[in-house]
Structure 1
């Protein structure tokens, strides 16, 4: 569904308020080929064991990478570190290259925070807005509005939270963002809007951004959900 510019701006603002604290800057640990991307918290169920951190599999190497923390995602203020080396977290990443997705059960992240006398203060993307197959199928060859929440990479190395308003299309089984995104956007969640059965416009998280040239495939949530049951947590 393609919105007018004013409506798109309204959706972008609302997303920052509702799920802005789900989003974290991520970078790989490979010094020879360092990659910058975004990871985000996803809550698959009311049970905290159902919470995961998601990103693109291409970003995650053997060393696990590094997550940066904004001040707003932890409490009390000033206690959490500026960054977490994911190699210190157990369980670590589970990679699913065939689907383009990497999943980190967050039990280890919460335990790490507790050991450091702080706690996470995040807004996970809820399962209720994760796009099912019927929503994915509504994406068509006609461009629709898409919203990407990500931590870009500025010239000074800073990683601010940004919203890119883009266009998304479906070509066969592939959902694609039509323009190449800035550095740091791979792994970020992609949101879109579609009318529901009653005609009301509803917001959905379509999936996450995968690497691409002149555009980006989207790992849609029907694919992501398929791998989540295979991920073991140890909460």
Structure 2
């Protein structure tokens, strides 16, 4: 669905309020220095269903780290500026065929507890993860898309940003029609559609994959397919 610019601004603001604290900056190992974004997803009411999601291409080598904004941890001033993925168990599970990497968050919560702090996040809830019927309503006509990501500024800072772009579907493929800035790979992509009462409802279509000139989107049907196979604590 294509919105006018005022409506797009309203949706972007609302998404930041609702899921802004789900999103973290990611940096891969010192050797390749790839920058991207990861986000928390809550697959159900059970806390075991919480995962961190990003693009598989970002996490192929050890030594990556997650940046921490002050708004995603408590109490203030206790958590570090970043946490290394080394030693987080279970670690990332990569599914290159789907473009997705999944990190069950049990290890992240243990890491926080050992350090005397807690996560204060707003996971993207399962209720707004786009199902096949939402994806099927996308078409060749461009619709409004909202990408919440941590870009990379010239001074190296990683602020939370919202890019308002266009999304289309061509057969089974969903894509963002422009090339996104550095740091946006792995970020969640949102769209809006009318619900049964005629109100606008937001949906998380999936996450941004690497691309040149445009970006494929790993939609939630692909993400859901790999979540049950993700290693968990026993």
TM range (shorter): over 0.9
2-structure distance, mates of 1:46, 1:52: 13
Q: Does residue 46 of structure 2 align to residue 23 of structure 1?
A: no
Mapped contact 2:149–2:187 kept (Cα < 8 A) = yes
1:72-91 alignment, distance < 5 Å: 72-91=71-90
2-structure distance, mates of 1:138, 1:104: 30
Please, what is the CA RMSD of the aligned residues? 1.0
Partner of 2:10: 10
Q: Does residue 183 of structure 2 align to residue 184 of structure 1?
A: yes
* Count of aligned pairs between the two proteins: 234
2-structure distance, mates of 1:64, 1:48: 27
Higher deviation after alignment, 191-200 or 46-55: 191-200
TM-score w.r.t. length of structure 1: 0.98
Gapped runs of 5+ residues in structure 2?
A: none
SS at match of 2:180: coil
Mapped contact 2:91–2:103 kept (Cα < 8 A) = yes
Gapped runs of 5+ residues in structure 1?
A: none
1-structure distance, mates of 2:159, 2:11: 19
2-structure distance, mates of 1:199, 1:231: 37
1:85-124 alignment, distance < 5 Å: 85-124=84-123
Partner of 1:70: 69
Mapped contact 2:30–2:63 kept (Cα < 8 A) = no
Partner of 1:52: 51
2-structure distance, mates of 1:3, 1:45: 30
Mapped contact 1:29–1:61 kept (Cα < 8 A) = no
2-structure distance, mates of 1:148, 1:215: 13
Mapped contact 1:75–1:121 kept (Cα < 8 A) = yes
SS at match of 1:165: strand
SS at match of 1:88: coil
Q: Does residue 42 of structure 2 align to residue 38 of structure 1?
A: no
SS at match of 1:67: strand
Mapped contact 2:28–2:61 kept (Cα < 8 A) = no
Shift of 1:64: 5.0
Mapped contact 1:64–1:92 kept (Cα < 8 A) = no
- CA deviation string 1:167-209 (max 9, x = no partner): 0000111000000000000000000001123433211000000
Mapped contact 2:176–2:215 kept (Cα < 8 A) = yes
Higher deviation after alignment, 58-67 or 149-158: 58-67
2-structure distance, mates of 1:65, 1:100: 18
SS at match of 1:111: helix
Shift of 1:232: 2.2
SS at match of 1:128: helix
Shift of 1:30: 4.4
